[in-house]
Amino acid sequence: MIRRIKFLGIPVRDQDRALAFYTGKLGFRVLTDQHFSDTQRWIELSIPGAETGIVLFTPEGHEDRIGTFVHTSWEVDHIDRTYDELRAKGVEFDGPPQKQPWGSFLKMKDSEGNQIVLSSR
């Protein structure tokens, strides 16, 4: 049976730039960085304290997904503190955290223009 999500793929145009963003700005760790094809590497990252990994890879024919909304939400402990810390590192957002009855969220942009939701309860 299905036990967990092993990784979430993030489509990227420039793997080196994306790798620098996810490791340098977000603090993710490299699990695998190896040759995949003539044009790409398989780059798998771990999120400290989480089981689900991130893969910086764009399947052939899916280049149109780069720079779009990644339908996922990443939980953070403190949305305001995370916003301040990541902004100080140069991470772009579409605005400050928004408070809702169910919690708080904001949309972050990665180095490739992908939009990812960060949220807290």
Residue 28 in any domain: the answer is yes
pTM of the predicted protein model: 0.94
Count of domains for the chain? 1
Residue 27 belongs to some domain of the structure:
yes
pLDDT value for 121: 87
Residue 36 sits in which domain range? 7-120
Q: What is the CATH number of the domain that holds 74?
A: 3.10.180.10
Whether 2 maps to a domain, the answer reads no
Residue at 1 is within a domain: no
> 86-107 pLDDT, tens per residue?
999 999 999 999 999 999 999 9
Q: Which residues pair with 92 in a beta bridge?
A: 109
Q: Is residue 71 part of a domain?
A: yes
Q: What is the pLDDT of residues 6-32, one digit of tens each?
A: 999 999 999 999 999 999 999 999 999
